């Protein structure tokens, strides 16, 4: 005798099927735009092109095991680029997160006037395409064109934004200007989810607005701040647009291997070495994964989840 499904099971099955239907298009697009290209890049990284004789027959693709990885990890240009990006991230990530958190707490304060106006003002740079933003800042950084440089010169300060080590901090400034608004809004939304009863109780106990912000609100939005930090770390490792455009000024020390992403682009489209470009890309992805995992573990071990 066949068993009759219970009403509870009958109710659950449509729900599960509905979740699968909703997730299906996302998973398909995720696989097509991320998983498959990543696997293809990994596959390319284990091959290289070899020419036989004088090369009239064209290149031959041969399996090279880990030769491309050995080449990358012993390439001074690649290692220097990675170190430069890590330095950039070491300055950019903490500065951006601290500024975004402080501004989000200020916007959420009961003392803030014109909250919606400042939200829009802070978010406005984020909707400007990165290429357009870099062009604007290139104009502001170029001697003879920049009113900022001319203004500093009138005060007796001669600053070269594109020369030497200054260019790294100039790029940090561009990146913060573009990403600050998004992170402020992200953390601000997390602050809005805090029950008002908690902050009201703190006010009744005599706590001021900044004491409430630091002792009550900030601990509640640590998971949101962590998410913003992870996004920022991954974005920092993908540094490409700003230095690539600043390089066109001719006033900077940036070359086509200044960052790993620029190096991968140059290897693929200037040298037609797609296998080495894939190797560099895979190493960047691995580094992003390792850093993201390290940050998550660091926060988890200290009970900040």
How many angstroms separate the CA atoms of 238 and 283, rounded? 12
Name, in order, each residue with C-beta under 8 angstroms of 296's C-beta and a sequence gap of 6 or more.
Answer: 226, 230
Question: Within a domain: residue 108?
Answer: yes
How many angstroms separate the CA atoms of 221 and 192, rounded? 10
pLDDT (0 to 100) of residue 115: 67
Cα atoms found within 13 Å of the Cα of residue 107, Cβ hemisphere only = 26
Question: Within a domain: residue 60?
Answer: no
Q: Which residue has the tokens 């100039």?
A: 170
Cα atoms found within 13 Å of the Cα of residue 189, Cβ hemisphere only = 9
State whether residue 57 is helix, strand or coil: coil
How many angstroms separate the CA atoms of 276 and 77, rounded? 13
Question: Within a domain: residue 148?
Answer: yes
Name, in order, each residue with C-beta under 8 angstroms of 122's C-beta and a sequence gap of 6 or more.
Answer: 103, 180, 181, 184, 185
pLDDT (0 to 100) of residue 101: 94
Question: Within a domain: residue 274?
Answer: yes
Name, in order, each residue with C-beta under 8 angstroms of 36's C-beta and a sequence gap of 6 or more.
Answer: none
| Count of structural domains within the chain | 1
Question: Within a domain: residue 104?
Answer: yes
Selection from 236, 226, 227, 235 nearest residue 87 by Cα: 236
How many angstroms separate the CA atoms of 254 and 244, rounded? 8
pLDDT (0 to 100) of residue 198: 85
Query: Domain containing 85 — which CATH number?
Result: 1.10.3720.10
Q: Residue 284: which domain range?
A: 67-301
Burial (CB count <10 Å: 0-12, 13-18, 19+), residue 243:
buried
Angle, CA of 250, 252 and 256, to the nearest 5°: 85
Cα atoms found within 13 Å of the Cα of residue 261, Cβ hemisphere only = 16
Question: Within a domain: residue 24?
Answer: no
Determine contact, residues 106/112, Cβ cutoff 8 Å: yes
pLDDT (0 to 100) of residue 94: 95
How many angstroms separate the CA atoms of 75 and 290, rounded? 21
Question: Within a domain: residue 34?
Answer: no
Question: Within a domain: residue 2?
Answer: no
Selection from 184, 186, 279, 296 nearest residue 233 by Cα: 296
60 forms beta bridges with 50
User: For each of the chain's 305 residues, which pLDDT tens digit applies?
Assistant: 455 555 554 445 546 677 778 888 888 998 998 889 889 999 999 998 876 655 565 677 888 889 999 999 999 999 999 999 999 999 999 999 999 999 998 888 756 666 677 777 777 787 888 788 888 888 888 888 888 888 888 888 888 888 877 899 999 999 999 899 899 989 998 898 888 888 888 888 888 778 888 888 888 898 899 889 988 999 999 999 889 988 887 778 888 899 999 999 999 999 889 999 999 999 999 999 898 888 888 777 755 55
pLDDT (0 to 100) of residue 126: 78
pLDDT (0 to 100) of residue 46: 94
How many angstroms separate the CA atoms of 139 and 189, rounded? 34
Structure tokens at 92: 């950019």
- Give the number of other CB atoms < 10 A from CB of residue 179: 21
């Amino acid at each position: 005798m066949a068993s009759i499904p219970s009403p509870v099971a009958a109710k659950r099955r449509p729900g599960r099927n509905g979740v699968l239907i909703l997730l299906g298009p996302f998973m398909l697009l995720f696989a097509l735009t991320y998983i498959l290209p990543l696997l293809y890049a990994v596959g390319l990284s284990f091959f290289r092109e070899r020419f036989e004789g004088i090369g009239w027959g064209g290149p031959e693709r041969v399996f090279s095991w880990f030769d491309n990885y050995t080449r990358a990890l012993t390439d001074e240009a690649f290692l220097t680029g990675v170190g430069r990006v890590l330095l950039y991230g070491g300055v950019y990530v903490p500065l951006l997160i601290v500024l975004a958190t402080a501004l989000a707490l200020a916007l959420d304060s009961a003392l803030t006037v014109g909250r919606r106006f400042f939200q829009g003002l802070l978010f406005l740079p984020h909707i400007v395409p990165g290429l357009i933003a870099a062009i604007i800042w290139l104009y502001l950084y170029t001697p003879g064109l920049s009113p900022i440089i001319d203004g500093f010169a009138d005060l007796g300060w001669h600053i070269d934004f594109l020369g030497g080590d200054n260019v790294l901090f100039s790029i940090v400034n561009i990146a913060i200007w573009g990403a600050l608004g998004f992170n402020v809004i992200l953390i601000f939304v997390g602050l809005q989810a805090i029950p008002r009863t908690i902050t009201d109780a703190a006010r009744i106990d005599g706590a001021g607005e900044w004491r409430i912000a630091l002792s009550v609100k900030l601990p509640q939005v640590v998971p949101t701040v962590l998410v913003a930090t992870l996004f920022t770390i991954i974005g920092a490792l993908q540094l490409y647009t700003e230095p690539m455009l600043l390089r066109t000024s001719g006033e900077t020390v940036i070359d086509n291997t200044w960052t790993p992403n620029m190096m991968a682009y140059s290897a693929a489209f200037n040298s037609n070495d797609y296998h080495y470009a894939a190797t560099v890309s895979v190493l960047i992805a691995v580094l992003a994964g390792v850093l993201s995992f390290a940050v998550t573990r660091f926060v988890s071990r200290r009970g900040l989840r």
